[in-house]
Structure 1
């Protein structure tokens, strides 16, 4: 039997622990109760979503810094 591959719908948050990045994942077809923290190395098929999340987070940080 093959493993079912879960699809990332959205990356909600990120954190760094012990030098590794973890992302809070909203899985496609699943409710918020199934969101989970996943290490970056397990998200090799989700590099576009990670890139998009990081760009959005950087833009928000820059926008809030400008408003100070």
Structure 2
């Protein structure tokens, strides 16, 4: 059950991260990171690793986008 919740949180974070890739909307990644971290935490508590790994990929995407924009843009 925790794995399904983790995957759903990862999907929400990914849907929010897609528009955040547009210039001047990079601040949205600061909203994406806590959601994805929560999903990764729940995925770590479950038996399966799929949800955790998916959330970790979303975290990496958000961090790379934040680093490209200098943390703000």
TM-score (norm 2): 0.38
Larger helix share, 1 or 2:
2
Q: Looking at secondary structure, tell me which structure has more strand per residue.
A: 1
Mark the structure with the bigger radius of gyration: 1
